[in-house]
């Protein structure tokens, strides 16, 4: 199996998870903007952060290029795991990678910066993830890292 981890990270939350995925897979990780030609890889793990309830724009573009690849998706977000904002973002990622073979997914909270929290709080209506954002402080943590490694192992 030839694998690579491609990720987008605004505040290093997704990068931290990407490094754990790469360690579990025994491969390299690269930011999405440095992905380059991935035709030599049969498995691609793609990590993204959520913007407006879906994968960030750079990740959206990349997800649409994965036809025929085995893909493991992972995301970080300010929402609580299992809630509609978290689930809808992953559904959007799957939709964008519709021509790929999705072998697994993982999402976890990622700490949201104060500036973003203030901007979100000023919106009317406030985003649905905002109420859970304080609980994301300190994430991804050691338990999140262990969980993503277990999810990757289970997907393979």
Tokens, residue 8: 């987008």
Check: pTM over 0.85? Answer yes or no: yes
pLDDT in tens, 95-132: 999 999 999 999 999 999 999 999 999 999 999 899 99
- Alpha-helical (H) ranges within 9-135 are 13-25, 57-63, 84-96, 114-121
State the Cα–Cα distance between residues 123 and 126, nearest whole angstrom: 5
pLDDT in tens, 45-82: 999 999 988 999 999 999 999 999 999 999 999 999 99
SS3 sequence, 92-107?
HHHHHCCCCEEEEEEE
Residue 83's Cβ-count burial label (10 Å; 0-12, 13-18, 19+) is middle
Domain boundaries, the chain: 3-148
Q: Cα dihedral sign for 3, 109, 138, 11?
A: positive
Look over the chain and give the mean of its residue pLDDT values, rounded to a whole number: 96
Secondary structure (3-state) at 24: helix
Homologous superfamily, domain 3-148: Flavodoxin domain (3.40.50.360)
CA end-to-end span of the chain:
10
């Amino acid at each position: 199996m030839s694998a690579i981890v491609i990720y987008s990270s605004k505040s290093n939350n997704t990068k931290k998870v990407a490094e754990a995925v790469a360690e579990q897979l025994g491969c390299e990780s690269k930011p999405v903007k440095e992905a380059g030609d991935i035709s030599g890889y049969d498995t691609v793990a793609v990590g993204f952060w959520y913007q407006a309830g879906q994968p960030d724009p750079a990740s959206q573009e990349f997800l649409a290029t994965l036809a025929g690849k085995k893909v493991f998706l992972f995301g970080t977000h300010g929402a609580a795991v299992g809630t509609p904002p978290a689930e809808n973002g992953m559904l959007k990622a799957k939709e964008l990678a519709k021509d790929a073979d999705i072998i697994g997914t993982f999402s976890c909270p990622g700490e949201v910066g104060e500036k973003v929290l203030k901007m979100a709080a000023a919106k009317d209506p406030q985003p649905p993830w905002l109420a859970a954002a304080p609980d994301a402080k300190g994430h991804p943590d050691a338990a999140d890292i262990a969980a993503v490694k277990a999810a990757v192992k289970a997907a393979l």
